Structure 1
Amino acid sequence: MKPVRWGVLGNAKFAREHMAPAIHMAENAVLAALGTSSPGSATGWDFCPGLAQMTYDDLLADPAIDAVYIPLPNHIHVEWTLKALAAGKHVLTEKPIAMTATEIDTIIAERDRTGLLAAEAYMIVHHPQWIRARELVQGGAIGRLRHVDTFFAYNNADQTHNIRNRPETGGGGIRDIGVYTYGSARFVTGAEATDISCRMIRENGVDVWAELDAILEGPLGRATYTAMTSMRLQNRQEVTFHGDKGLLKVANGPFNANLFAEARIELHVDQTITSERWPAANHYKLQVENFGASIRTGAAYPCPLEFTRGTQVMIDQAFATAREINW
Structure 2
Amino acid sequence: MAPVNWGILGAAKFAREHMGPAIHAASGARLAALATGSDDKFAAFSKRFPDLRRHTNYDALLADPGIDAVYIPLPNAMHVEWGLKALDAGKHVLIEKPVAMKAGEIDALIAARDASGLMATEAYMIVHHPQWRRTRMLLADGAIGALRQVHCAFSFDNRDPENIRNRPEVGGGALPDIGVYALGSARFATGLELSDLRAEIEWEGGVDTTASVQGRLGEAGYSGYVSTRMHLYQEVRFHGEGGVIRLTAPFNPNVYDAARIELHRAGEVSIERFPAANHYVNQVEAFSAHLRDGADYPWSLEDAQGTQATIDAVYASGAQT
TM (normalized to structure 1)? 0.96
For 1:42-53, list aligned pairs within 5 A.
42-45=42-45, 46-53=47-54
What is the match of residue 11 of structure 2?
11
Residue 138 (structure 1) shift: 1.3
What is the match of residue 187 of structure 2?
186
Residue in structure 2 matching 1:247, options 244, 248, 254: 244
Q: Does 1:197 align with 2:198?
A: yes
Per-residue CA deviation, residues 4-47 of structure 1 (Å, 9 max, x unaligned), is: 00000000000000000000000110000001124686222222
Q: Does 1:323 align with 2:310?
A: no
Preserved CA contact (<8 Å) 1:144 1:245: yes
Separation in 1 of the partners of 2:187 and 2:63?
37
Matched residue type, 1:37: G
- Runs of 4+ in structure 1 deviating by more than 2 angstroms, as ranges, are 37-41
Separation in 2 of the partners of 1:127 and 1:277?
12
Matched residue type, 1:23: I
What is the match of residue 109 of structure 2?
107
Separation in 1 of the partners of 2:256 and 2:172?
25
RMSD: 1.0
Identity of aligned residues (%): 55
Separation in 2 of the partners of 1:313 and 1:259?
29
Per-residue CA deviation, residues 195-226 of structure 1 (Å, 9 max, x unaligned), is: 11111110011111101111112xxxx11001
Residue in structure 2 matching 1:234, options 227, 231, 234: 231
Q: Does 1:223 align with 2:220?
A: yes
What is the match of residue 288 of structure 1?
284
Separation in 1 of the partners of 2:142 and 2:87?
41
* Count of matched residue pairs: 319
Preserved CA contact (<8 Å) 1:126 1:287: yes
Separation in 1 of the partners of 2:69 and 2:87?
9
Matched residue type, 1:164: R
Preserved CA contact (<8 Å) 2:11 2:41: no
Q: Which segment drifts farther, 65-74 or 44-53?
A: 44-53
For 1:83-102, list aligned pairs within 5 A.
83-102=85-104
What is the match of residue 37 of structure 1?
37
Query: What 5-or-longer segments of structure 1 have no aligned partner?
Result: none
Separation in 2 of the partners of 1:171 and 1:91?
22
Preserved CA contact (<8 Å) 1:267 1:275: yes
TM (normalized to structure 2)? 0.98
Report the CA distance shift for 1:149/1:93 in structure 2 as closer, same or farther (over 3 A): same
What is the match of residue 206 of structure 1?
207
What is the match of residue 162 of structure 1?
163
- Three-state SS of the structure 2 residue aligned to 1:64 is coil
- Three-state SS of the structure 1 residue aligned to 2:44 is coil
Residue in structure 1 matching 2:269, options 251, 262, 273: 273
Residue in structure 2 matching 1:314, options 298, 303, 310: 310
Query: What 5-or-longer segments of structure 2 have no aligned partner?
Result: none
Separation in 1 of the partners of 2:254 and 2:134?
16
What is the match of residue 253 of structure 2?
257
Separation in 2 of the partners of 1:104 and 1:198?
24
Residue 310 (structure 1) shift: 0.7
Preserved CA contact (<8 Å) 1:148 1:241: yes
